[in-house]
């Protein structure tokens, strides 16, 4: 199995797509709905719960530019950073890993 690119609508409904090299069968992995309704803060890219709080923006690390995250920044949400994705994002919820 190798990972392949998802097509337009598949990006909304599936988190990954795989294809078998032997039989050309295509497997789609559905997105968990619980991600959108979580009560704890997690990385929006890898869904890891081990995020760290930052005091100010780091210009080297990428910023998650989702409209909801940027709206939370306008209202004073804390800044978090994922060490695995090296992604910064704003979120009002408490951290999943360490409360």
What is the average pLDDT value for the chain, to the nearest integer? 84
Whether residue 22 is found in the same domain as residue 55? no
Whether residue 25 is found in the same domain as residue 50? no
Whether residue 27 is found in the same domain as residue 40? no
For the stretch 25-58, pLDDT in tens is: 888 887 766 555 677 888 888 777 888 998 888 8
Bridge partners, residue 53, by sequence: 80
Q: Which helix (H) or strand (E) holds 73?
A: helix 67-74
Q: Residue 63 sits in which domain range?
A: 36-99
Task: Quote the pLDDT of residue 90.
Answer: 93
Query: Which distant-in-sequence residues (6+ apart) come within 8 Å of 83 by Cβ?
Result: 50, 52
The total of structural domains in the chain comes to 2
- Whole-structure pTM value: 0.62
């Amino acid at each position: 199995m190798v990972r392949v690119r998802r097509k337009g609508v598949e990006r909304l409904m599936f988190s990954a797509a795989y294809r078998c090299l032997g039989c050309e069968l295509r497997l789609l992995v559905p997105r968990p709905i619980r991600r959108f309704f979580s009560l704890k803060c997690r990385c929006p890219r890898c869904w890891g719960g081990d995020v760290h709080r930052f005091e100010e923006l780091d210009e080297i690390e990428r910023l998650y530019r989702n409209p909801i995250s940027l709206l939370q920044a306008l209202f004073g949400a804390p800044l978090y950073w994922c060490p695995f994705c090296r992604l910064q994002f704003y979120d009002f919820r408490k951290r999943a890993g360490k409360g």
